Amino acid sequence: MDTTELRREIDEMASSFLFLEKKEIDIPTAGQFLNQLEGVMGHAEALGAAEAQRLSGGLNQLLEKVVLESVDAAAGFGLFERGIVLLQSVADGYCNTGRYEGSIDPFMAELAACLGIPLEPASGETAEAPSVEAAAEGPAAAKERVQDESLLRDFITEGLEYIGEIEMNILNLEQEPENKDYINAIFRPFHSVKGVASFLNLDAIRTLAHDLETLLDKARNEALPVTPELIDLILDGSDTLKAMIGQLRDGLEGREATELIDTSDLVRRIKLAEQGAEQPKQPKKLGTILVEEGIINEDELQDALERSQIPPPRKLGQTLISEGMASPKDVSRALRKQAQQVTDSNTIRVDIKKLDDLIDMVGELVITQSMIRQSDTLAALGDRKLVRDISQLASITSELQRSSTVLRMIPIKQTFQRMSRLVRDLSKNSGKLVNVVTVGEDTEIDRNMVDEIYNPLVHMIRNAVDHGMEMPEDRIQAGKPERGTIRLKAFHRGGNIVIEISDDGRGLNREKIRQKAVKNGLISAGDALTDQEVNRLILLPGFSTAEKITDISGRGVGMDVVKQAVEKLRGKMDIQSVEGKGTTFVTGFPLTMAIIDGMIVKVGNERYILPTVAIRQLIRPDRAAYNCIVGEAETINVMGRLLPLVRLHRLFDIEPVHANPWEATLVVMEGEKRSKCLLVDEILGKEEVVIKNLGESLKRIKGVSGGAILGDGNVGLILDPEGLFEMAEAN
């Protein structure tokens, strides 16, 4: 090992000591110095520098005695400072000649006298730092350290703050896995917890913190990639440390001791991660399985878990059976299901790029077989067997396309977990008490959409906590529970995934929203708006009713960003609110961004694709249904409702086959908050098409969201209903 590492570690310690204010050491500072001394001992052992090992071991003991006030602070600090200087001299000797020419015995004798322990062996005798520490640290001293209540209380307070730092920075790291600053920001708190736990003889906490620190060190040195599995492991580790520190606090406050936390499985997973091995699949908990099967509900599960902790503690299954909440058969079946999850290893990891390439190639295959099927040459042959074979090929390729798309689907659980962490951080910063309930975590979504929907969800969560949730005292006055609830729910509906974010807070103040909209000139004071139309006003750019700016939201930016992001993903958004009861944001997204279910229409000689999710109906109106106001605005009476007419041929400057609406076909399209009729010449059919990017130069064309290769090999443009509506209103 390079001797410069030894000198660097000592110099860092010297610098920390030099800038120590008032020469006072609290628990965090003591932990920092103890960690640095441990680093010095490690480097010294690797170099065979026995003098540096003895010195750092002695200084370790001196520091502990100073903190415990067993040694006069002034005398102890003087000795500690001289010891650091002597360590620097020892390191210089090994850097220059590979050995130290002087003697540390006079200093060690003075140190022994100060500590009241026998003189350590001379440098020629065999002695290592651990044995020196053992000589000075008897059982009584260890007991003294652990029983020092003030030190333990300081550690508990500092330790929980460190865990909070870790949780906050893990959220940042998950968004930017390559950012070394975030890795260091997580590494340092674990390092501090380890040092202080070592000082207080809290071996279990020290060992776990050390293992997590080692894992992060490898990630910091790029020996391990920062993956979602690694982040989950670190989160599990921080949660376990928090629980262990919580047990210490319970002990100090005289609460009944619970069973010691078993960290063996967590340590095993950490060791596997250090070796770069794939993490074993974590099974669902017994309670979660029983809730999913409808045997018990969430409230019953929480109550049973609390009762299971009452001494003598019991397992959850025993509690449920003894209280008649579940039968032995129910629990046994759930346990078998849990065991199957652990043993199920029929999975492999595939690089996402390879998966994307596969799906692209399958899309090309679908297009090619469609071109063959619609070929005029094939029709001219009149070979029935060939037609049957090509029909079979079409069926197989269509199924292959569906199967390959499913490969890229992943559960939304991880996104919900990130939201739960975010709520915890936001509620802590705002002083509000908020629970998070998740439903439908196993609902699957396209892997490529996960990152895209994250920002919109974050904005809605921030608004729910900051604007929606009341302070605890306000909730009590309103007759609500002190702790509010944010509910995250996901489910499939048709070809979409629907995500609902609801809170039981104050709800939208529609009168206040109306006043703000009138003030901003968005509506007139006499406008008659439905509740839904008032709700949607908050989606307009710069619209905010916040009375003050906070760190969470209220800057007049946010919900319009959500609206834009949802529309970019071809999604829809709905807002439901009851004043005083809460608000629900409902967002619907297509399951995948790679394929769209479209209706192919013809205008003149051009063909376009309209998303079927936006089509309400197809009509050929009577002549009497057509209305023209002063030769400008054209409307169609659709079931008693007048809808504006949009002529696609005018928007795209095309010569139509039919100019009269009663001769053409009308497609009733639904937009964000309006409906219009699109005039087209002909409906060619419905087809699933693979979306193709139009490239940088064409991607900003209004009214067009992409392109697709049709069955004859030509390109059809995929139209954006909202963009078409805006174009029509601008003309």
Is 283 inside a domain boundary? no
Q: CA dihedral in degrees (175, 415, 540, 721; nearest 10)?
A: 110
DSSP H or E run through 42:
helix 27-47
Residue-level pLDDT at 69:
65
Mean pLDDT throughout 139-161? Answer: 62
User: CB neighbours of 426 closer than 8 A, spacing ≥ 6?
Assistant: 434, 461, 462, 465, 466, 552
Mean pLDDT throughout 358-386? Answer: 79
Is 282 inside a domain boundary? no
Task: Judge if 322 and 373 occupy the same domain.
Answer: no
Mean pLDDT throughout 567-578? Answer: 81
Question: pLDDT tens-digit profile of 432-491?
Answer: 888 888 888 888 887 777 777 887 888 888 888 888 888 989 899 988 898 899 999 988
Is 384 inside a domain boundary? yes
Residues 612, 683 contacting (CB under 8 angstroms) = no
Task: Judge if 70 and 110 occupy the same domain.
Answer: yes
Residue-level pLDDT at 137:
40
Distance CA 211, CA 388 (A): 63
Dihedral of CA 194/195/198/199: which sign?
A: negative
User: CB neighbours of 332 closer than 8 A, spacing ≥ 6?
Assistant: none
- Is residue 53 scored above 80 in pLDDT? yes
Is 674 inside a domain boundary? yes
Task: Judge if 415 and 366 occupy the same domain.
Answer: no
Task: Judge if 463 and 370 occupy the same domain.
Answer: no
Compute the mean pLDDT over every residue in the chain, rounded to the nearest whole number.
Answer: 77
3-state secondary structure of 498: strand
- Nearest alpha-carbon partner for 419 in 476, 489, 365: 489
Is 208 inside a domain boundary? yes
The token pair at 144 is 């003294």
Domain that holds residue 224: 149-274
- Nearest alpha-carbon partner for 167 in 455, 461, 422, 427: 422
The token pair at 436 is 């998070």
pLDDT class for 644, splitting at 50, 70, 90?
A: confident
Task: Judge if 574 and 629 occupy the same domain.
Answer: no
DSSP H or E run through 438:
strand 434-439
For 155, other C-beta atoms within 10 Å of its C-beta total 26
pLDDT class for 664, splitting at 50, 70, 90?
A: confident
Task: Judge if 416 and 401 occupy the same domain.
Answer: no
- Is residue 501 scored above 70 in pLDDT? yes
Is 553 inside a domain boundary? yes
The 3-class SS string of 369-410 reads HHHHHCCHHHHHHCCHHHHHHHHHHHHHHHHHHHHHHHHCEE
pLDDT class for 687, splitting at 50, 70, 90?
A: confident
- Nearest alpha-carbon partner for 325 in 347, 352, 305, 355: 305
Domain harbouring 107, CATH code: 1.20.120
The token pair at 541 is 């750019």
Task: Judge if 334 and 440 occupy the same domain.
Answer: no
Residue-level pLDDT at 145:
41
User: CB neighbours of 362 closer than 8 A, spacing ≥ 6?
Assistant: 397, 400, 401, 404
- Is residue 90 scored above 60 in pLDDT? yes
Residue-level pLDDT at 120:
47
| Beta bridge partners of residue 572, listed in sequence order | 588
Residue-level pLDDT at 117:
66
Domain harbouring 586, CATH code: 3.30.565.10
Which residue, of 222, 240, 274, is where some domain finishes?
274
Residue-level pLDDT at 438:
87
State the total domains in the chain: 6
Residue-level pLDDT at 144:
41
3-state secondary structure of 484: strand
- Is residue 556 scored above 50 in pLDDT? no
Residue-level pLDDT at 542:
60
Residue-level pLDDT at 540:
76
Q: Which residue has the higher pLDDT, 408 or 227?
A: 227
Task: Judge if 640 and 688 occupy the same domain.
Answer: yes
Is 622 inside a domain boundary? yes
- In degrees and rounded to multiples of 5, residue 30 shows phi and psi of -60, -45
Residue-level pLDDT at 554:
39
Distance CA 431, CA 470 (A): 10
- Is residue 547 scored above 60 in pLDDT? no
Alpha helices in 323-351, H assignment, sequence order: 328-343
Residue-level pLDDT at 349:
63
Task: Judge if 437 and 491 occupy the same domain.
Answer: yes
Which residue, of 590, 608, 627, is where some domain finishes?
590
Residue-level pLDDT at 551:
41
Q: Concatenate the DSSP letters of all residues of 22-38 into one string.
A: GG---HHHHHHHHHHHH
Which residue, of 137, 163, 186, is where some domain finishes?
137
Is the preceding omega at residue 312 within 30 degrees of 0, hence cis? yes
Task: Judge if 448 and 362 occupy the same domain.
Answer: no
Question: pLDDT tens-digit profile of 100-136?
Answer: 888 888 888 888 888 776 544 443 433 333 333 333 3
Task: Judge if 122 and 185 occupy the same domain.
Answer: no
Task: Judge if 69 and 56 occupy the same domain.
Answer: yes
pLDDT class for 248, splitting at 50, 70, 90?
A: confident
Domain harbouring 611, CATH code: 2.30.30.40
DSSP H or E run through 368:
helix 352-373
- Tell the residue number behind the tokens 């000649």, with chain if given: 97
Is 144 inside a domain boundary? no
The token pair at 19 is 């800038």
